[in-house]
Structure 1
Amino acid sequence: MKIVKGSEHKTLIPQKPIGARAIQAAEQLIRFGWEQALSCLFPVVIFASLALTKLIPLPLLPRYDWLLVICLLMQWWMVRSGLETRDELKVITLFHLVGLTLEIFKVNMGSWSYPEEGYFKILGVPLYSGFMYASVASYLCQAWRRLDVDLIKWPPFWMVVPLASAIYLNFFTHHFWIDVRWWLSALVIIVFWKSWVSYKVNGIPYRMPIALSFVLIGFFIWVAENIATFFGAWQYPNQADAWSLVHLGKVSSWLLLVIVSFLIVATLKLVKRRIP
Structure 2
Amino acid sequence: MPQGATRFARIRDGLEQVRLSPGPTAWTYEFLLFGFKQAWACLFGGLMLALLLGTHFFYPADAPWHRYDFLTCAALAIQAAMLAFRLETPREAIVIGAFHVIGTIMELFKTYAGSWIYPEASVLHIGAVPLFSGFMYAAVGSYIARIWRIFDFKFTRYPSAWATAILACAIYVNFFAHHWLPDIRLFLFGTAVLLFGRTGIWFTPWRQPRRMPLLLGLALVAMFIWFAENIGTFANAWTYPDQRDGWRMVSIAKLGSWYLLMIISFVLVALIHGVRRPDQIR
TM over 0.5: yes
Aligned pair count?
255
Letter of the 1:46 counterpart: M
Which of 139, 144, 147 is 1:140 aligned to?
144
Unaligned stretches of 5+ residues in structure 1: 1-18
Query: Structure 1 CA distance, aligned partners of 2:71 and 2:226?
Result: 21
Residue 21 (structure 1) shift: 2.7
Q: CA deviation at 1:57?
A: 2.0
Separation in 2 of the partners of 1:136 and 1:121?
Answer: 21
What is the CA–CA distance in structure 2 between the aligned matches of 1:44 and 1:202, rounded to whole Å?
A: 23
**2:169 pairs with 1:165:** yes
SS at match of 1:138: helix
For the pair 1:149 / 2:186, whether they are aligned, the reply is no
Q: 1:51 is aligned with what amino acid?
A: L
Partners of 1:151 and 1:165 in 2: how far apart? 22
TM-score, normalised with respect to structure 1: 0.89
Provide the rounded CA distance (Å) in 2 between the counterparts of 1:122 and 1:173: 22
User: Is the partner of 1:36 in helix, strand or coil?
Assistant: helix
CA RMSD in angstroms comes to 1.6
Q: 1:223 matched to which residue of 2?
A: 227
Larger radius of gyration: 1
Work out whether 1:193 is the aligned partner of 2:197. Answer: yes
Unmatched 5+ stretches in structure 2: 1-20, 278-282
Aligned to 1:96: 100
Higher relative contact order (CA 8 A, sep 6+): 2
Q: Which amino acid in the other structure matches residue 231 of structure 2?
A: I
- The Cα shift of 1:272 comes to 11
Matches of 1:157 and 1:46, distance apart in 2: 32
Out of 28, 48, 52, the position equivalent to 2:54 is: 52
Structure showing the higher strand proportion among its residues? 1
Three-state SS of the structure 1 residue aligned to 2:204 is: strand
For 2:256 and 2:276, the matched residues in 1 are separated by: 30
Contact 2:155 2:276 in 1 (8 A): no
Report the TM-score when normalising by structure 2: 0.88
What is the percentage of aligned positions where both structures have the same residue? 40
Task: Name the counterpart of 2:110.
Answer: 106
Q: Which moved more, 1:146-155 or 1:70-79?
A: 146-155
CA distance, structure 2, for counterparts of residue 151 and residue 82 of structure 1: 27
In the aligned structure 2, how far is the partner of 1:156 from the partner of 1:108?
Answer: 35
C-alpha distance 173-48 of structure 1, shift in aligned 2 (>3 A): same
The superposition leaves residues 228-249 of structure 1 with CA deviations (integer Å, 9 ceiling, x where unpaired) of 1000110001111100010000
Of 41, 44, 53, the match for 2:43: 41
Distance in 1 between residues matched to 2:36 and 2:195, nearest whole Å: 32
* Bigger Cα displacement from structure 2, 82-91 vs 211-220: 82-91
1:66-111 Cα deviation digits (max 9, x unpaired): 0001100000011111111111111110100000000110000000
| Alpha-carbon shift at residue 23 of structure 1 (Å) | 2.8
